Amino acid sequence: MSVRKLKPITPGQRFRVVNGFDAITTDKPEKSLLAPLKKSGGRNSQGKMTMRQKGGGHKRRYRVVDFKRDKQGVVATVESIQYDPNRTAFIALVEYTDGEKRYVVAQNGLEVGQKISSGESASPEIGNALPLSAIPLGTIISCIELRPGQGAVMARSAGTFAQLMAKDGKFVTVKLPSGETRLVLAGCMATIGAVSNSDHQLLVSGKAGRSRWLGRRPRTRPVAMNPVDHPMGGGEGRASGGHPRSRNGIPAKGFRTRSKTKDTNRYILERRKK
pLDDT single digits (tens) 91-112: 999 999 999 999 999 999 999 9
Q: Is there a contact between 122 and 129 (Cβ–Cβ < 8 Å)?
A: yes
What pLDDT digit, counting tens, does each position of 169-220 carry? 999 999 999 999 999 999 999 999 999 999 999 999 999 999 999 999 999 9
pLDDT number for residue 273? 78
Is residue 267 pLDDT above 90, yes or no? yes
Q: pLDDT digit string (tens) for 152-166?
A: 999 999 999 999 999
Per the prediction, the chain carries an average pLDDT of 95
Q: What is the pLDDT, as a whole number, of residue 240?
A: 87
pLDDT value at 70 more than 90: yes
Residue-number span of the structural domain to which 151 is assigned: 3-201+266-270
Please report the beta strands in 152-223, taking only residues with DSSP state E, as ranges in sequence order: 162-168, 171-175, 181-185, 189-192
Residue 242 pLDDT greater than 90, yes or no: no
Q: How confident is the model over 20-38, as pLDDT tens digits?
A: 999 999 999 999 999 999 9
Residue 250 located in a structural domain: no
234 within some domain? no
**210 found inside a domain:** no
Query: Residues 47-62: pLDDT tens digits?
Result: 999 999 999 999 999 9
We report the CATH number of the domain holding residue 55 as 2.40.50.140
With contact defined as beta carbons under 8 Å apart, do 156 and 142 qualify?
yes
Residue 122 lies in a domain: yes
- Alpha helices per DSSP H over 88-230: 208-213
Total number of domains in the chain: 1
Residue 243 domain flag: no
Q: Which residues contact 148 (CB under 8 A, 6 or more apart)?
A: 185, 187, 188, 189
200-to-1, 44, 69, 107, 210 alpha-carbon distances in Å: 9, 31, 25, 14, 15
Residue 245 lies inside a defined structural domain of this protein = no
Q: What is the pLDDT of residue 274?
A: 66
Rounded CA-CA distance 118/211 in Å is 38
pLDDT for the residue 266: 96
**Percentage of the chain surpassing pLDDT 70?**
99
Q: What would the mean pLDDT of 60-69 be, rounded to a whole number?
A: 97
In a domain? residue 221: no
Inside any domain, residue 255: no
